[in-house]
Amino acid sequence: MTGSWTRAPPGGRWRLQPRLAAALGQLPPGERDVILLVALSQLSHEEVAHALGISYGTVGSRLSRARRKLQHVIDREELNG
């Protein structure tokens, strides 16, 4: 997934490349929210827990599941060419 994140000019908004955006769209909302807050907003696990009203441990669990699922989606895509 190298190079999958690109920063838009002045507004500081992030844009996702289509392949990554499609993979993220396959995640359940809770997992997608966590991975976006950690990866894009660069929030700590504690900050994400507070923002979403979930426990610190739940942040870690959702993040781990989301990463695993994203890797699976991307690997499957590469195999199917």
What is the per-residue pLDDT for 75?
A: 85
DSSP the chain: -TT-EEE-HHHH-EEE-HHHHHHHHTS-HHHHHHHHHHHTS---HHHHHHHHT--HHHHHHHHHHHHHHHHHHHHHHHHH-
What is the per-residue pLDDT for 6?
A: 44
Average pLDDT rounded to a whole number, residues 18-29: 88
What digits encode the pLDDT tens for the residues 36-80? 999 888 999 999 999 999 999 999 999 999 999 999 988 887 778
Q: Are 62 and 37 in contact (CB under 8 A)?
A: no
Domains of the chain from N-terminus onward: 16-80 (1.10.10.10)
Residue with tokens 């507004």, as numbered in its chain: 11
Choice between 64 and 23, residue whose per-residue pLDDT is larger: 64
pTM of the shown model: 0.75
